[in-house]
Amino acid sequence: MFFSELTEGRVSTKSASRTQRSSTSIETLSESGNPLMYIINYPNGGFVIMGTTKNYYPVLAYSNINSFEITSEMNGVSVWLEETKEALKTSNSFNDTIKTGMQNLWKSYETADIFSFQESEDTQLKSTHSSGQIACWNRCDELQMQYGGEGWNFAPLSNAEQIFDNAGFLGHYQDICYGADFNHSPLDCSVVGWRNVYKNEQVGPLLTTKWHQGSPYNDLCNGKPAGCGAIAVAQVMKHYHYPQSFNWNGYAFNWSTIPVVPLANSDHDALVRLVGHFVNMHYNSGGSWATPGAMEDGISNLGYNVTRANHNYERVETELLNRHRPVIMGGNANNVPLPSPLNYIGKSHYWVCDGARAITTGQMQYFTEWQPYGNGVFTTGWNTMDSPGVLGGIGYLYFHMNWGWGGNHDGWFAFNNVNSGNGNYQYARQNFYITKP
């Protein structure tokens, strides 16, 4: 579902091998000789990152417009990359329930809809069947006409074994058959309704900016990088358009002079330098930096309400899906302990998480109607259409990341919410929850 309009860019890494198919670039990212993921870049922009194990999510990241190139200067992207690599390497230790759910996700990409039903009975033969069987088919037709538009399918219970088996619920099908027998309802006279449930809740990307640390954003930084923290905060301020105007160090400007894309004589450099001042940015040619505490104080002094907390994906999900507010994130690619300002020098980065997409797939809803002794009278069986039984289903979560590199690597990235028992591999992760007064 993510492949239809994605395109290629270049991918280059020392530890990866490249395969060219037409104009699409396919990169295999390996570690110690073991393939972990495939990075697919498409010709007109867009990428997909796929895992190599069926014990973990199939689609790890994607974008319809950007490319994904592995370099030595990926900073925030490398935080996600290292977390995901560790999750892939340890996925074999997940419990059987999680692994089964993951494998069912892969099936949804590899095969046709497992819930589509092909009627195996020749309707012309219905007249040769018992009155109970004919009543069952008529009831299925009646329900299909009423509720087929809502995704429901209906069939005699005797015809649905393959449907449940393909979905991985053969054992439950056998339990339903036992329930029918217990209620004296022949399988070919009992109605079963089922549908595949797919839920997709998305907010974002909220930001319209794709700013970076170079010119013109760093034009007032004495030739030094603007600093990832300053770019992250400035983009969130642009999103909120708050405060309405500024007077600082001889500069007077407002949001009308700071468009999404810089123009001649626009005030992006003044805004970024202003933020750098408030977050106590340390400017260096090799990389400008600010501590998490200084970031928190600076955001507050700029007039926002801010809470700094250790990374918690559920809180981020709520902040975006329910409150529609971007979250500034910070983290390290390497495992170093907090607290220390040195954590945010070198392979450290601040960026903005400005979107969330929560998906539930592989879930089957069902209900039955019994026809005792095939007498033509249908009674409520297991569950109802209004309150159906629910089988399986796996939820997975993507966050949209604006990495602060001019759009480079921006996209939707799968979040590892599966705990392997060996740690969560999120190094020195801190989030800044910001609200406009």
For the stretch 140-155, pLDDT in tens is 989 988 898 898 999 9
Q: Mean of the pLDDT values across residues 88-114?
A: 72
Q: Mean of the pLDDT values across residues 398-412?
A: 92
Q: Is 380 exposed, middle or buried (0-12, 13-18, 19+ CB in 10 A)?
A: exposed
Most confident option among 77-86, 159-168, 210-219: 210-219
> What percentage of the chain has pLDDT greater than the value 90?
53
* Amino acid in the structure at residue 18: R
Return the pLDDT at 149.
85
Cα–Cα nearest to 3, from 70, 58, 57: 58
Is residue 340 very low, low, confident or very high in pLDDT (cuts 50, 70, 90)?
Answer: very low
Given a contact cutoff of 8 angstroms between Cβ atoms, the answer to whether 363 and 196 are in contact is: yes
Return the pLDDT at 421.
36
Alpha carbon of residue 236 to chain centroid: 21
**Residue bearing the bigger pLDDT, 223 or 79:** 223
Q: Tokens 């990832």 identify what position?
A: 228
Q: What is the pTM of this model?
A: 0.72
H or E element that contains 277 = helix 268-278
**Residue bearing the bigger pLDDT, 229 or 114:** 229
Q: How many CB atoms sit inside 10 A of residue 155's CB?
A: 22
Return the pLDDT at 198.
84
Given a contact cutoff of 8 angstroms between Cβ atoms, the answer to whether 399 and 413 are in contact is: yes
Domains of the chain: 16-111 (no CATH), 123-201+359-394 (no CATH), 228-358+423-435 (3.90.70.50)
Torsion angles phi and psi, residue 361, rounded to 5: -145, 170
Go through the chain and tell me how many residues it has.
Answer: 437
Given a contact cutoff of 8 angstroms between Cβ atoms, the answer to whether 87 and 418 are in contact is: yes
Given a contact cutoff of 8 angstroms between Cβ atoms, the answer to whether 209 and 351 are in contact is: no
> What percentage of the chain has pLDDT greater than the value 70?
83
**Residue bearing the bigger pLDDT, 380 or 21:** 380
Q: Mean of the pLDDT values across residues 170-186?
A: 97
Q: Is the pLDDT of residue 5 over 50?
A: no
pLDDT digits (tens, 9 = 90+) for 12-48: 222 333 343 356 788 898 888 889 999 999 888 889 9
Is residue 334 very low, low, confident or very high in pLDDT (cuts 50, 70, 90)?
Answer: low
Q: Mean of the pLDDT values across residues 339-362?
A: 74
Is residue 341 very low, low, confident or very high in pLDDT (cuts 50, 70, 90)?
Answer: very low
Token output for 216: 């013109």
Q: Mean of the pLDDT values across residues 79-96?
A: 86
Q: Report the distance separating Cα 213 and Cα 93, nearest Å.
A: 41
Q: Mean of the pLDDT values across residues 379-407?
A: 92
Torsion angles phi and psi, residue 317, rounded to 5: -60, -45
Q: What is the CA radius of gyration of the chain?
A: 27
Q: Report the distance separating Cα 61 and Cα 88, nearest Å.
A: 14
Is residue 221 very low, low, confident or very high in pLDDT (cuts 50, 70, 90)?
Answer: very high
Cα–Cα nearest to 232, from 333, 354, 328: 328
Residues 6+ apart with CB under 8 A from 328: 232, 233, 236, 295, 299, 350, 351, 352, 353, 431, 432, 434
Across 340-361, b (16+ Cβ under 10 Å) vs e yields: eeebbbebbbbbbbbbbbbbeb
Return the pLDDT at 347.
63
**Residue bearing the bigger pLDDT, 269 or 347:** 269
Q: Mean of the pLDDT values across residues 39-62?
A: 89
Return the pLDDT at 333.
60
**Residue bearing the bigger pLDDT, 21 or 428:** 428
Return the pLDDT at 212.
96
Q: Is the pLDDT of residue 168 over 90?
A: no
> DSSP readout, 327-370?
EEEEEESS--PSS-GGGGSSSEEEEEEEEEEEEEEEEEEEEEEE
Chain mean pLDDT for the chain: 83
**Residue bearing the bigger pLDDT, 159 or 111:** 159
Given a contact cutoff of 8 angstroms between Cβ atoms, the answer to whether 219 and 266 are in contact is: no
Q: Mean of the pLDDT values across residues 247-272?
A: 89
SS3 425: coil
Return the pLDDT at 335.
56
Work out whether the CA dihedral 271, 277, 281, 285 comes out positive or negative.
positive
Is residue 99 very low, low, confident or very high in pLDDT (cuts 50, 70, 90)?
Answer: confident
Q: Report the distance separating Cα 45 and Cα 68, nearest Å.
A: 9
Return the pLDDT at 278.
96
| DSSP β-ladder status, 411-414 and 305-310 | unpaired
Helix axes 228-240, 268-278, angle to 10 degrees: 110
Q: Report the distance separating Cα 243 and Cα 261, nearest Å.
A: 19
Is residue 115 very low, low, confident or very high in pLDDT (cuts 50, 70, 90)?
Answer: very low
Token output for 123: 């309707």
Q: Is the pLDDT of residue 114 over 70?
A: no
Report the DSSP beta bridge partners of residue 308.
432
Q: Is the peptide bond before 216 cis (omega within 30 degrees of 0)?
A: yes
DSSP 64: S
Q: Report the distance separating Cα 410 and Cα 420, nearest Å.
A: 27
